[in-house]
A and B are shown apart, each in its own frame.
Chain A
Amino acid sequence: MNGPTVGVVALQGAFALHIDALTDCGTAARAVRLPADLAGCDAVVLPGGESTTMGKLLDTSGLRDPLRERLAAGMPAFGTCAGLILCVTEVLDPVPNDASPFGVVDAVARRNAYGRQVESFETDLAIDAIGPEPFRAVFIRAPVMESVGPGVDVLGWQNDHAVLARQGPVLVGSFHPELTGDRRIHQYFVDLVKESM
């Protein structure tokens, strides 16, 4: 049997780097811009970028409803940064006219929780789920999860905030594993996708 195909939502943001990372993990990855692109995808990555921009483009492209349906039906997903904002159940300080998030991870997120770009940073995180070596995590105008529900496994913390978490087949992170050459988090996601097939 062939391996999974991961669709990377390519409306705006760091989608190309996720395709590279997934390819490095030996997985087929393709850009998803229209509903037809979603057919044949076993999982989806919602990349970093601007969450308000992606929200608008989810509507104009017609991707929002099919994506919501697939996610509700249990399709594995990995949301980073803006993608995390799209996956959680609640976003604090919502932008006017924003549609409600997909709500597949029971968590409350805060946008730009660390402040503006001059406050963006990289740091070492301990993430036991991917091994003992620390992971160099790049936070760009990053959101955090202020609270998570009982069904959510927090895999990584930064100070007192959950920054990497999993609920069932959905993984969400505040930071950008696609910006470093360390592929352990993408590999963790690919393994999760394979388990669910």
Chain B
Amino acid sequence: MSTDRGTVRVKRGLAEMLKGGVIMDVVTAEQAKIAEDSGACAVMALERVPADIRRDGGVARMSDPALVTAIMDAVSIPVMAKCRIGHFAEAQVLESLGVDYVDESEVLTPADEANHVDKWAFTVPFVCGATNLGEALRRVGEGACMIRSKGEAGTGNVVEAVRHLRSITGGIKRIERLDAGELMSEAKQLGAPYELVCELHETGALPVPLFCAGGIATPADAALVMQLGAQACFVGSGIFKSGDPAKRARAIVEATTHFDNPEVVAKVSRGLGEPMVGITDVAPADRLADRGW
């Protein structure tokens, strides 16, 4: 009887368990505990939330392993951490620490201008961002077990996440309608693996869960993206850059569960205090969503 770790089923399985939940960015063990106590289904351990990375500039790298392990020790829920795009050595370090998911993230400064990490080489599962279906399928082809929209991290503006979700789900609907004979040309257009395009044509869904990230700041934002087809939400700066993080965290958790029930979303949206200050004028050179290939 063979016992196997790190199989596709085991890796995608954890993503299935996170569905309907909220994954929150935290920068300290105290924040991690607040997130867990507010109902987060996982936390992302970071040195700086995207809003601060954006403000500070410079090269953004993997977090200090001491911080990541302190957060792992503080909570019982899964802990994720980010490596730079293509930086497989950072990913190896995070795997050795025992993090539960690695986010190969455009929020950090890319380490490779052509290649993403070969995620099949790892036991730890990976999540990757995508702005459209071709990008999503390329990441799945490299071994990603969860896809999230990129959105535009650290802006508190959900418009980019909506664009990316609509692009991905619209692409899926389009492939469902094609004839089998059109799939190779579609794969060429998308720059996506042919076999995955064929699989999608059969099943009508991505082979891995699709989550939303980038700009979610309110319970209604969470309800919006869940109705647009996201299966869970990442909330970065939106919680701990707001006036009352614990209350807002609880509200976003409830809105994600009851996303199709406006009465619940209305109830939890009352009196949350100040949301994070949003920004709308991101210069093209500062756009994080354009990182990744």
Chain A interface (Cβ < 8 Å from any Cβ of B): 10-17, 33-34, 48-50, 52-53, 56-57, 60-61, 81-82, 93, 95-97, 111-112, 115-124, 134, 138-141, 176, 179-180
Q: Known: A50-B41, A53-B41. Is A121-B4 also a contact (CB below 8 A)?
A: yes
Taking the closest CB of chain B, its distance from the CB of A62, in whole angstroms, is 11
Chain B interface (Cβ < 8 Å from any Cβ of A): 1-7, 9-10, 13-14, 16-21, 36-42, 72, 76-78, 95, 98-101, 123-125, 250, 253-254, 257-258, 261
- C-alpha spacing A81/B17, complex, angstroms: 10
Q: Known: A56-B38, A116-B98. Is A140-B1 also a contact (CB below 8 A)?
A: no
Q: Is the CB of A97 within 8 A of B123?
A: no
The list of the 4 closest CB pairs from A to B, nearest first, reads A56-B39, A117-B100, A124-B1, A123-B3
B interface, by DSSP: helix, strand, loop or mixed?
loop
For A61, what are the chain B residues with a Cβ–Cβ distance below 8 Å?
257-258
Q: Is the CB of B41 within 8 A of A120?
A: no
- C-alpha spacing A53/B4, complex, angstroms: 28
Q: Is the CB of B253 within 8 A of A122?
A: no
- C-alpha spacing A187/B278, complex, angstroms: 50
In the complex, residue of chain B having the shortest beta-carbon distance to the beta carbon of A112:
B76
For A111, what are the chain B residues with a Cβ–Cβ distance below 8 Å?
76
Q: Which of B10, B21, B41 contacts A138 (CB 8 A)?
A: B10
Chain A to chain B contacts (Cβ below 8 Å), 11 pairs: A34-B258, A48-B16, A49-B41, A50-B17, A50-B77, A61-B258, A81-B17, A117-B78, A120-B14, A123-B2, A138-B13
- C-alpha spacing A48/B78, complex, angstroms: 13
Q: Is the CB of A13 within 8 A of B17?
A: yes
Q: Known: A13-B20, A33-B257, A61-B257. Is A120-B77 also a contact (CB below 8 A)?
A: no
